[in-house]
Amino acid sequence: MKKKRPVRRRTRKKNDYFTKEHENAIVEYAKSSCIKERTKLYVGLIGPAFSEMVNKIIFTYKFNNLPNIDPLREDCKIWLTTILDKYDPNKGSKAFSYFSVVTKNWFIHKVKKNSKKLKKEVSFETLVSTGGPDVLGTSDSTANAYIEQRSEMEFWNSLLTQLDKWDTGSLKTNEKAVLDAVRVLLHNIEDIEIFNKKAVYLYLRELTGLNTKQVVNNLNKLRDKYRIFKGKWDKE
């Protein structure tokens, strides 16, 4: 009688990029209100761990099939910084588990949004090519609502392109930080309360590490450029 060969169990790879030290750093970050301390914790420990975690989740769940995955990768990492202080270790979950789930759900949302966008593109092209909304079984008001939504998205996309032109390389450190943060908010415009003034300032403070006064001062420098852009857009 042949002896059964022992079944080899796969040894799980050690998670050496998100350790107890990183867990503690996130807890300290959430407790702290000092910008310098938060920056030190993020740059030294939290940021590199988030970067590795996001990369592994993208690879594991094949999110790299998404269009523009590189900008999305960066957007997700910055998004995680805006919810760092929402983590509560007293609720029972480890920071690694909590932020892994958040990251996975963030990308799942992007997949769904991309799929929805593709369906809308097909419907819109069908609507235009066939000459009217009746072909799709939609009313004029439904078609007009979609066209308005489409126009709004074109505005935001055009503004994003304009923001790249404003980044001339001659901006001061705080100006560039605010401009980059605004760019991130516009990339995630459907995911946040973008038109809630308090929420905008909160996100900008979290993303830049600046205080409210610094954020406001640097936003004011961008407002003139925005007014010029908006004026040209309205004329066109």
Question: In whole angstroms, what separates CA 109 from the centre of its chain?
Answer: 11
Domain ranges of the chain: 16-137, 139-236
Helix then strand then coil, in percent of the chain rounded to 5, is: 75, 0, 25
DSSP state of 42: I
pLDDT of the chain, 236 residues: tens digit per residue: 555 565 555 544 557 889 999 999 999 998 888 888 988 999 899 999 999 999 999 998 888 888 888 888 988 988 898 888 888 888 777 899 889 888 988 888 888 877 766 555 444 444 444 444 444 444 455 555 656 666 777 777 788 788 888 877 778 888 888 888 887 777 666 655 444 566 677 777 777 778 888 888 888 888 888 888 888 887 77
Contact in structure between 210 and 177 (CB atoms under 8 Å):
yes
| CA pair distance 28, 22, nearest whole angstrom | 10
pTM (2 decimals)?
A: 0.50
Spatial separation of the C-alpha atoms in residues 49 and 17, rounded to whole Å: 6
Strands (E), 14-57: none
Please identify which residue in the block is written with the tokens 């910055």.
78
pLDDT at 85: 82
Work out whether the CA dihedral 104, 67, 191, 117 comes out positive or negative. negative
Q: At which residue do the structure tokens 């997949």 appear?
A: 111
* Cα–Cα distance list, 9 to 3, 6, 168, 223 (Å): 18, 9, 56, 61
pLDDT of amino acid 189: 61
